[in-house]
Structure 1
Amino acid sequence: MQIVLAPMEGVVDHLMRDMLTRIGGFDLCITEFVRVVDQRLPARVFRRLCPELAHGGKTAAGVPVRVQLLGQEPHWLAENAAKAVQLGSPGIDLNFGCPAKTVNKSRGGAVLLKETERLYQIVKAVRQAVPAEQPVSVKIRLGYDDTSLTLDNASAIAEAGASVLTVHARTKSDGYRPPAYWPWIARIRERIAIPVIANGEIWTPAQAAQCRQEANTPDIMLGRGALALPNLAQCIRSDQQAMPWPEVLQLLMRYSEFEITGDKGKYYSNRIKQWFSYLKLQYPEAVVLFQQLRVLKRNDDILVLLQQKLHDSLP
């Protein structure tokens, strides 16, 4: 079984990757997307979203971090894929699953699921630009409005030379509404020969087992579930118990303790608040704490509140 940490835009940054991979259970991380339009981007763009490039393309815990690209032009995606690998990314991931309206309006992400030939041309160009020993992974949804092109898209991606396909088992129109249609992944596996990773609606070890069975694949990608339960990967892999709330508070404090000033301070305080929207799904204590934390804007104030709550939670 391989467990991959999903590339959740706006929340799974390098700090979150560092924390979750230190907890353990993950085999691979994917970055937030690098938006590619009509140029070869400078190295600083890749290093900003993937600081791990300076450390062999791995987190401090030794988990590989693969750069993700989002765009619609085969040539420029290929150019930037070659650049990312040159900088140290262990392979390339292509995003054809992002459901965000702003991204889709500019012909990126899930909207490309309407264009099977375009998918093929993008993957083929990137595959040719990246050294053969480096994987090219692709993430899709089941479709944009419906599943009429699901199998054709998967086949095109495989035929173009993708190394592995990750499938979020919902359409763009489905958004994140339950359920995820895991049996569709099994149908895709019957059609293509490359490995397929199942993604979508995995919040518990029981759901992970059900997903693997219905999708007929050993490999899964965790996103929102890993934010709601930080040791979910270890719970799935080695039957760990759910992380106690005091340990979650310590994680939140570690996230807040990074030396950040000015606008960056707002950036990280906002990300902590985003994290709480997921923690509330697993921890009742997070619901109460969020009511106090949501009005705070300074990182120092957030840290003081977390320290107080940790002290109160210990026997």
Structure 2
Amino acid sequence: MKLILAPMEGLTDPIMRDVLTHVGSFDWCVTEFIRVTDSVLPEHVYDSYCPELKNNGKTSAGTPVHVQFLGNNPDMLAANAVRAVELGAPAIDLNFGCPAKTVNRHRGGSVLLDEPDVVHLLVKAVRDAVPQHIPVSAKMRLGYLDENHTLENAHAIEDAGASWLTVHARTKADGYTPPAYWEKILPIVEALNINIIANGEIWNTQHAKRCLEQSGCHDLMLGRGAVTTPDLSLCIRQNREDAVLSWQDLLELQIRFLNGPSKTEIGMVGRYKQWLGMMTKAYPEAKLLWDEVKRIKDLNEVIQKLHNFL
């Protein structure tokens, strides 16, 4: 079974990828989407989204990082994919799942699922452009406002030469509201010859088991569950319902996160509070820590609070 850390804008950034792959058990992870419009992006953009390119395309723990693009221009997607590979990307992924209104309004992400011919064109353009040994994959939802084109899109992606397909088991209209319809992935698995990876609402080991059973998939992509519970991948692999990491282990992870590179101090504190807020759903200790740091704006003061708890 392969476990993959999902691309999530504003959440699984380079710092979070470093932390979660440092402790977790992921086969690879995927960058936040890089928006492509009408040009080949400068190198500093790649450095920002995927600094791991300077480490042979891997996190410090040695986990490969695939570069994800979002856009509707086949020529520019292809050219940027070539550039990413030149910079060290081990694989390219294409985003047909983003539900954000701003992205969809500019004809990117899940809105393209109403245009299977365009989906095919974009995947094929990238597949034809990069060397054959570089995998090209795609991530999609079941559809945009409905599921009328689910299989059509899946076939379009396979026929374009994708190595595998990840399916988030909801439409754009479903957003992130539970449940995820894992059973609706099964017809895709049965219809296609490439590997299908299931994604959506996997928060614990029982969810992982049920997702595998209902979807017919062998591999899983973990998203918010892996951020909320950093040892989720370990629990799934070890078939454990109880935690693998202690709260002390998690405090050390949080300190590692806060000591990571950041553009601004206030930005780092904000990102940390976002993560800690998510962890309060899983750990009583996180709620106590949240009460201690929620009003603090100074980065060093937050770090000192964590050392005090540790």
Q: TM-score scaled by structure 1?
A: 0.95
Matched with 1:278 is 278
Looking at structure 2, the residues matched to 42 and 11 of structure 1 have their Cα atoms a distance apart, in angstroms, of 23
1:214-260 CA distance string (max 9 Å, x none): 11011000010101110110111123541222221111111112365
Partner amino acid, structure 1, of 2:202: I
The equivalences for 1:1-315 within 5 A come to 1-239=1-239, 241-242=242-243, 243-258=245-260, 264-310=264-310
2:15–2:260 CA contact under 8 A, matched in 1: no
Runs of 4+ deviating beyond 3 Å: none
Secondary structure at the aligned position of 1:29 is classed as: strand
Give, in angstroms, the shift of residue 64 of structure 1. 0.5
1:173-217 CA distance string (max 9 Å, x none): 111111110111111111111100000010111110110111101
Partner amino acid, structure 1, of 2:250: V
* TM-aligned CA distance change 1:259 to 1:102, over 3 Å: closer
Partner amino acid, structure 2, of 1:101: K
Looking at structure 2, the residues matched to 62 and 43 of structure 1 have their Cα atoms a distance apart, in angstroms, of 22
Secondary structure at the aligned position of 1:165 is classed as: strand
Looking at structure 1, the residues matched to 50 and 171 of structure 2 have their Cα atoms a distance apart, in angstroms, of 28
Looking at structure 2, the residues matched to 298 and 93 of structure 1 have their Cα atoms a distance apart, in angstroms, of 37
Partner amino acid, structure 1, of 2:212: R
Partner amino acid, structure 2, of 1:264: T
Between 179-188 and 285-294, the greater mean CA deviation after superposition:
285-294
Partner amino acid, structure 1, of 2:110: A
Looking at structure 1, the residues matched to 302 and 24 of structure 2 have their Cα atoms a distance apart, in angstroms, of 26
Partner amino acid, structure 1, of 2:223: G
Looking at structure 2, the residues matched to 259 and 96 of structure 1 have their Cα atoms a distance apart, in angstroms, of 30
Partner amino acid, structure 2, of 1:254: R
Structure 2: where are the runs of 5+ without partners?
none
Matched with 1:313 is none
Looking at structure 2, the residues matched to 41 and 114 of structure 1 have their Cα atoms a distance apart, in angstroms, of 27
Looking at structure 1, the residues matched to 222 and 297 of structure 2 have their Cα atoms a distance apart, in angstroms, of 29
Give, in angstroms, the shift of residue 33 of structure 1. 1.1
Give, in angstroms, the shift of residue 285 of structure 1. 2.0
Partner amino acid, structure 2, of 1:258: G
2:24–2:232 CA contact under 8 A, matched in 1: no
Looking at structure 2, the residues matched to 149 and 23 of structure 1 have their Cα atoms a distance apart, in angstroms, of 39
Give, in angstroms, the shift of residue 102 of structure 1. 1.4
Secondary structure at the aligned position of 1:252 is classed as: helix
Secondary structure at the aligned position of 2:264 is classed as: helix
2:127–2:161 CA contact under 8 A, matched in 1: yes
2:24–2:230 CA contact under 8 A, matched in 1: no
1:52-75 CA distance string (max 9 Å, x none): 101110111111101110111111
Q: TM-score scaled by structure 2?
A: 0.96
Secondary structure at the aligned position of 1:57 is classed as: coil
Partner amino acid, structure 1, of 2:27: D
Give, in angstroms, the shift of residue 289 of structure 1. 2.2
Partner amino acid, structure 1, of 2:254: L
2:15–2:261 CA contact under 8 A, matched in 1: no
